[in-house]
Structure 1
Amino acid sequence: MLQEELKKYFGYETFRSGQQETVQNILDGHDVLSILSTGAGKSLCYQLPAYITGGRVLIISPLISLMDDQVVQMKLNGEKNAVAIHSALSMDEKQDIFKDLENYQFIFCSPEFIYEEHNFKHFKSINFKYIVLDEAHCLSEWGFDFRPHYALISKVTQHFLHSQVIALTATLTKKMIIDIQEITKRQFEIHKEGLNRSNIMYHHFNFESEEEKDKFLLNEIKETGPTIIYVSSKKKCHELADMIYKEGYLTGIYHGDLDYQERTTVQTQFINNDIKIIVATSAFGMGINKQDVRTVIHYHLPTSPSKFVQEVGRAGRDGEQSQAISLFTPRDLLILNHLANDHGIDIDMLNLYEQGYQLNEEVTMNIKFLLELYPINKLKAKIQAEQDQKSYAFNYMKNYVQIDSCRRLYLMQYFNEKVMQNENCCDNCNNANLIKLPNIKEVKRKTTYQIRLNAIF
């Protein structure tokens, strides 16, 4: 039955791991929290039930770029009734969508957008069959100190009490599951696939200086195949891309300040292998459907195993042998410390607010949002718990650069998963070799990366 529906609406003969179980749980009428590995096709898990039942879907998504990309992908697949509405649209564009809102089957927006009362009033009367929380780990990781609107998502889930809630993500800890159930005020039927991707090998390299790291990187990318290189900032994104381009390799950049046309151009060229190397911030990857990424390189490590495993999982979606390479210098610790401690709201801010001190407008507004949900003492406890969890995750990643035991086992233990792999595992297990898949030099002229970028866009 489900296979026939899958073939009818998507043209696939079989489900990917975890999809069928998730879809069946949804069709059985449950609120569903599904943890599926990166690249497992989470969007299909709510789209197929919507097509079968004819139900309308509200998808709450963390990034404008992710919303836009998913809508474009759906339209390319023939879906005409999908729309993303967000702050990047003009007033006229938003008003046009609002006027026609009830005619769309799939509506994407951010938690910040729908929380605003002048926006929410347009959604209130719509009979949504499903409320989808895409990248649901954001509710826990961002929902208290960084993007408090996520902590108030129950305003939506409680208003649409008769709508099923579908939470989808690639990585989740026990704490995150508890957070999501508390924030949404729903009890979920939970389906969890193993996070381990056996076709991805782990390699880590420590260097004394950034110069050594750059030298290694420029030599290594000669044979990494289609590659994503993750860096911590937009500035470094441009610097590194320029350096790689000067070595003769066509290189794309991707970060949050690119407009839609720029993002789409880079994504399309990368997916089509017109360019083999992307230098990106963490904004790149969510919703990008490229199956043959052979290598993910972390020039800068992320601050948690959850983020690391999510980004690593963008390699090898086709099941072929792939690799995750991480690079580290002592100087990187300063960058990681800064990122790990960049809290939107902390205990000191709450104390100052409670004592009547004037804080900046955004912080004050966010604290007021959270106080709608929690009394001040409980909010302090929540914020402290978040900071403790982030500190634990950060220290876990700091230890990753030093361990001499199995890297795969170490990462999976963070998610309470035990794995063992006897071949193609990691550098510490001495059973994994770096991939040798040549990237051909294509840059003939001596031009700057900026000139090349201008030519593309």
Structure 2
Amino acid sequence: MDKLHQTLMRYFGYDAFKTGQEDIIRSVLQQKDTVAMLPTGGGKSLCYQIPGYLTDGLVLIISPLLSLMEDQVERMKMRGEKRVAALNSTLSFQERRHIIRHLPSYKFLFVAPEALMSEVLLEQLKAMLVGLFVVDEAHCISEWGHDFRPEYSKLGEWREALGNPVALALTATATKQTLKDTVQTLRLEHPDVHIHSVNRPNIALLKEAQETKEAKEKRALELVETLQGPGLIYCPTRQMTEDISRLVKQKTHQRVEFYHGGMESGDRMLIQQQFISGQIDLICCTSAFGMGIDKANIRFVIHMSPPQSIEAFMQEIGRAGRDGKNSVSVLLYTEEDADIQSHLIQAEGFDDPEIDFFLARLSQMPINDEKKLREQLMEAGLQETRARMLSHYYTMYQTEQPRLLMKKLKEKLQDRQTEKLKKVWQFKEHITGHRCFRQSLLSYFDEQLDLTEDASFGNCCSSCGLDLSDYEKKDQPLELNEMKHWKTELDRLFHLTKEAQH
């Protein structure tokens, strides 16, 4: 057994790698910058943990979500790894200071991209050997980096400041453009690229057209009652997660909670852990939930409307069936859904008077700190996502003449909006088409359906005659059975127990 497999057995108890893992790990160990796409459940975290055990220096992991960081850290600690920490917004000032002061004692450090804006942290990292610079869920560079999380666009700059450690970018879904964005943003030259299929053949794909929002809600309740759980219901808005959760509680016997980014972080973490441990059957959530969540037995994912892109859809359905067993994705949609998503995207934009007003505010601030500019805009009444965009582009172009700055700013904002709207309408075409839904989705990623691979699972998609009954609960609900007198039932169980002891 070579050293790589010895490390796999010692730290993780496995005697073989999953598809793609070994090639990615060997690439990193050969000091090659590496971009890798493995399907959800493909074991991406192993690809930086094993190199961490076999090389010198800190493994710095840039992670997009608090829940993802916490989940990874807890799993590593449960496996006995004590040299791991996460710097995030849930920590007190004293806790953050303690971690930064004791960085040399850690082997793995998880941070959000925003954390690297801290000069104190960056200076401490510069004084250390950073052996591996990991960007987890690297598709966020394209999906979020231009507006929602502009700090992603600075990852290459920060990596250079740390002496250009070996980079590893990991994702489960990526188009050619996403991969190109990742390579450019991280400033990688001739990286090793390892691409594996986004297809999850054990997840059947069902799409159902409904007439109204109310019809979708009624159908969701039917599915929750009949499908084998546990499950997730993805909703387009925070309010809908609460509404659907309330409806499920009223109409079914499911243990259900809602989850979205507007909740307190402690509440979100509690619900996440209850779901992972089996205390909750169903979560109604926004896209804020699920990335990297290690719950292997999720049996269904329901979408109350299509997400804004095929990439997001493939990420979210990938929460199901991580144990390799048959699971199902159900997409409920109406004719108006694409219009609603388009309206939400357009609402994020700026009209000319708004740009004039906020640029005037920015020009009055003698600050070149993007974070402080963003805070000032939020204090002036701008919603956080829009404040992120405006402060980022202003910082990028502020050396230009005012008229040219305005022109470039408008062009950039318009380009982003156009790109996002394009993805919404692309997805609608894939949903309303009549060919195999799986093949249609794979074609977006320039893939072809491997018929031999999918044939072993039988059920492909609703376009190919999917039988939903294969995913329904097999046992009769207790309340439908004839209930015996409780004393008779207790006596029966007691005698069964006594017999089992002999």
Q: TM-score, normalised by structure 1?
A: 0.88
Partner of 2:298 in structure 1? 293
C-alpha distance 403-72 of structure 1, shift in aligned 2 (>3 A): same
Paired with 2:398 and 2:41, the residues of 1 have a C-alpha distance of: 37
Cα separation, partners in 2 of 1:369 and 1:356, compared to 1, 3 Å: closer
User: In the alignment, what sits opposite 1:370?
Assistant: 396
Q: Is 1:404 aligned to residue 434 of structure 2? A: yes
SS in 2 for 1:428: helix
CA deviations over 1:123-171 (Å, ceiling 9, x no partner): 2212100011111111111222332111111221111234101101111
Against the structure 1 CA distance between its residues 440 and 289, is the aligned structure 2 distance closer, same or farther, given a 3 Å change threshold?
farther
Conserved 8 A contact 1:229-1:278: yes
Equivalent positions of 1:350-389 (< 5 A) are 352=356, 357-358=360-361, 361=377, 362=387, 363-371=389-397, 385-389=415-419
Q: Deviations over 1:104-131 (max 9, x none)?
A: 1111111112123344223221210001
CA RMSD, Structure 1 to Structure 2 (Å): 2.7
Q: Match of 1:190, SS?
A: strand
Secondary structure at the aligned position of 1:153 is classed as helix
Report Cα offsets for 1:194-215 as digits up to 9, x if no partner: 1111111111111111221122
- Are the structure 2 counterparts of residues 347 and 43 from structure 1 closer, same or farther at C-alpha, using a change threshold of 3 Å? farther
Q: Does structure 2 retain, via aligned residues, the 8 Å contact 1:222–1:440? A: no
Sort the Cα spacing of 1:431 and 1:239 in 2 relative to 1 into closer, same or farther, 3 A: closer
Q: Distance in 2 between matches of 1:328 and 1:237?
A: 16
Deviation at 1:378, TM superposition (A): 7.6
Contact 2:59 / 2:133 at 8 angstroms: preserved in 1? yes
Question: 2:220: which partner in 1?
Answer: 217
Greater relative CO, 1 or 2 (CA 8 Å, sep 6+): 1
Q: Counterparts of 1:425 and 1:263 in 2: how far apart (Å)?
A: 34
How far off is 1:411 after superposition?
0.8
The residue type equivalent to 2:473 in the other structure is L
Q: Which amino acid in structure 2 is aligned with residue 201 of structure 1?
A: A
Letter of the structure 1 residue corresponding to residue 428 of structure 2: K
Mapping of residues 241-320 of structure 1, within 5 Å = 241-246=245-250, 247-320=252-325
Match of residue 426, structure 1, among 444, 455, 461 = 461
The one of 192, 207, 217 aligned to 2:210: 207
Cα distance change on mapping 1:114 and 1:219 into 2, 3 Å: same
Specify the code of the residue in structure 2 equivalent to 1:8: R
**Does the 8 Å contact 1:223/1:439 carry over to 2?**
no
Q: Which ranges of structure 1 fall in alignment gaps of 5 or more residues?
A: 444-457
- Give the distance between the partners of 2:264 and 2:121, measured in 1 at CA: 24
Contact 2:397 2:408 survives alignment (8 Å): no
For the residue of structure 2 that corresponds to 1:42, the secondary structure is coil
Aligned sequence identity (%):
35
Which residue of 2 is the match for residue 123 of structure 1? 125
Q: 1:234 to 1:283 in 2, by over 3 A?
A: same
Deviation of 1:217 after TM superposition, in Å, equals: 1.3
Deviation for aligned residue 1:342 = 5.3
**2:439 touches 2:448 (CA, 8 Å); kept in 1?**
yes
SS of alignment partner, residue 446 of structure 2: coil
Superposed, 1:179-218 pairs within 5 Å as 179-187=181-189, 188-218=191-221
Aligned equivalents of 1:441, 1:274: Cα separation in 2: 18
**SS of aligned partner of 2:261:** coil
Distance in 2 (alpha carbons) for counterparts of 1:297 and 1:67: 25
Give, in whole Å, the separation in 1 of the partners of 2:299 and 2:446: 27
Q: Is the 8 A contact 1:207 1:327 kept in 2?
A: yes
TM-score by length of 2: 0.81
The corresponding residue for 2:160 is: 158
2:57, 2:341 → 1: CA distance? 44
Equivalent-residue separation in structure 1 for 2:395 and 2:478 (angstroms): 52
The CA deviation string for residues 343-381 of structure 1, in whole angstroms up to 9 with x for no partner, is: 4x779699759x964467235532244348999688776
Pair 59,349 (structure 1): closer, same or farther in 2 beyond 3 Å:
farther
Corresponding residue for residue 234 of structure 1:
238
Aligned partners of 1:140 and 1:382: how far apart in 2? 14
CA apart distance, 1:14: 1.4
**What is the one-letter code of the residue matched to 1:192?**
I
Q: Which has the higher helix share?
A: 2
SS at match of 1:401: helix
318 and 262 in structure 1: CA distance in 2 versus 1, 3 angstrom threshold: same
Task: Say whether 1:395 aligns with 2:425.
Answer: yes
Return the alpha-carbon distance in structure 2 between the equivalents of residues 96 and 432 of structure 1: 55
Q: Deviations over 1:311-363 (max 9, x none)?
A: 111111111111110011244344312343454x779699759x964467235
Deviations 1:163-186 (A, max 9, x none): 101101111111111111111111
Take 1:183 and 1:204, find their aligned partners in 2: how far apart are those partners?
Answer: 36
- In our comparison, the structure showing a higher alpha carbon Rg is 2
Partner of 1:176: 178
Q: Is the 8 A contact 1:37 1:194 kept in 2?
A: yes
Cα deviation for residue 83 of structure 1 reads 0.9
Change (3 A) 1:90 1:441: farther
1:75 equivalent in alignment to 2:77: yes
